[in-house]
Amino acid sequence: MAYDYTDLQQGDQIAYTEDHEDLKKSVRKFVAEVIRPASIELDKMSPDDVVKKDSPYWQCMRQMHELGYHTIFIPEEYGGIGLDALGLHIFFEEMAFGSIGLAVACGVDVFPTFFAAMILPEFPELEDSILRPYVADKDCSMLGCWAITEPEHGSDILTPFQAHFHNPKISHQLVGKRDGDDWILNGQKAAWVSNGTTATMALLFFGTDRSMGLAGGGIAIADLEEKGVSRGKPLDKIGQRDLPQGEIYFDDVRVSKDRVVCDHEAYENMTDLVLGAANAHMAIMCLGGARAAFEETLRYSRERIQGGKALCEHQDVQRKLADMFIKIEAGRQLSRNVMSFNLYNFPPMTGYSMTSKVFCSNMAFDVAQQAVQIFGGNGLSKEYLIEKLFRDITSTRIEDGSNESLTLAIGHDILFGEKPY
């Protein structure tokens, strides 16, 4: 048996242009002026205050909509910005540099509308009911989320093609029942739904056939302002406190057939496809967070005097900074290559997206940990930003699939996947 890796250079290699440079500059400016200050303020607020309509969270989301940042995945023909893979990478690295939480909020916002655009040929009415109004939305009256995890299902519901996914004893807690062509939904989604307490619509994963286990599911573009939908209390978390998360409850909620992306026939494959896209993006968020920790540390090391000289003049600090830099650069190259490959190849090589997410989140954690060490006692104090960055980064090793579960899935993919190594 011949062994071979997938050469990610087969993905479309996009030349870095002036447009990319301009994008980087404009997002960087927005992040410095709006995202980072808001994120710091939100971090100190209670979860209930974060979701209040006049909070910095809503101000940020509204400004993102005004700038069209909610349309970066929507083609220009529909009025969107429609960034290429490199543009998306630059965008999310810069956004996450300012705040991983608000970058995630921006990323999941587009999920329902992006899928609506994909099924337009079948359901053209979605153009007027979702796509066009969302693209035109400037005041954030339309906001999306990705609702997949459930109280009893976290990483397991994200990792298809394994034995647990077909175990009839493990099934969705949000259950759909057919009513003619429509679905009636009952149950709940987990407290971990990003934008869960604020979104008006969701790319919603639900159970359709318990006998198939988690593979018996469907995906819908659900209106969260429908009768029967209610929300849980905003979650109080260690980090990414600027990202509102909370349960969504469904009590006899009707979803019409023109809002259903797929049923159990394609559910498992579709989950894989969505995970492939989500993990590729999550890796970039980690990279942005790591760079924020690194740059904060670099600046501090030039200012802070210890032992009679600036920290950066100590050889061991230089070694640590170099180590952080090396890790970040490796993370950027991996996450860019995976993004280019998987955004332009369907079905995506989801194992590589998971690899990128696991690598970049572990890398970000290592960088943040070293950063705190360089800050010394100050790194443990809320007075310094690095303490917040460390807490924000800690979450990334669990969100979008815990690294342990994803690593097991990568192992499964290497040995038994579509293209075994």
Looking at residues 121 to 140 of the shown chain, list those that interact with another protein (rule: CB under 8 A): 121-122, 124
Enter the tokens of residue 412. 């499964």
Query: For residue 276, which phi and psi values (nearest 5 degrees)?
Result: -60, -40
Angstrom CA distances, 256 to 207, 219, 274, stand at 16, 12, 22
Looking at residues 315 to 374 of the shown chain, list those that interact with another protein (rule: CB under 8 A): 343-347
Question: Which part of the chain contacts another protein (CB under 8 A), choosing from 118-126, 164-172, 194-202, 304-312?
Answer: 118-126
Instruction: Examine residue 411 and tell whether it contacts another protein (CB under 8 A).
Output: no
Angstrom CA distances, 34 to 40, 63, 80, 243, 336, stand at 10, 9, 22, 15, 26
Q: How far is the CB of 347 from another protein (least distance, A)?
A: 6
Q: At what angle do helices 100-109 and 267-303 cross, to 10 degrees?
A: 150
Instruction: Examine residue 82 and tell whether it contacts another protein (CB under 8 A).
Output: yes
Residues 40, 273, 298, 408: which binds another protein (CB under 8 A)? Answer: 273
Instruction: Examine residue 265 and tell whether it contacts another protein (CB under 8 A).
Output: yes
Residues 69, 115, 161, 183: which binds another protein (CB under 8 A)? Answer: 115
Binding string to another protein for residues 47 to 66, with x set by CB under 8 A, is what? Answer: --------------------
Instruction: Examine residue 37 and tell whether it contacts another protein (CB under 8 A).
Output: no
Instruction: Examine residue 264 and tell whether it contacts another protein (CB under 8 A).
Output: no
Instruction: Examine residue 151 and tell whether it contacts another protein (CB under 8 A).
Output: no
Compare residues 85 and 324 and give the one whose CB is closer to another protein. 85
Q: What is the spatial distance between Cα 206 and Cα 148, in angstroms, rounded to a whole number?
A: 8
Residue 345, classified by CB atoms within 10 Å of its CB into exposed (0-12), middle (13-18) or buried (19+), is: middle
Enter the tokens of residue 416. 């038994």
Residue 230 host element (H or E): strand 229-231
Residues that bind another protein (CB under 8 A): 12, 73, 75-78, 82, 84-85, 115, 117-122, 124, 261-262, 265-266, 269-270, 272-273, 343-347
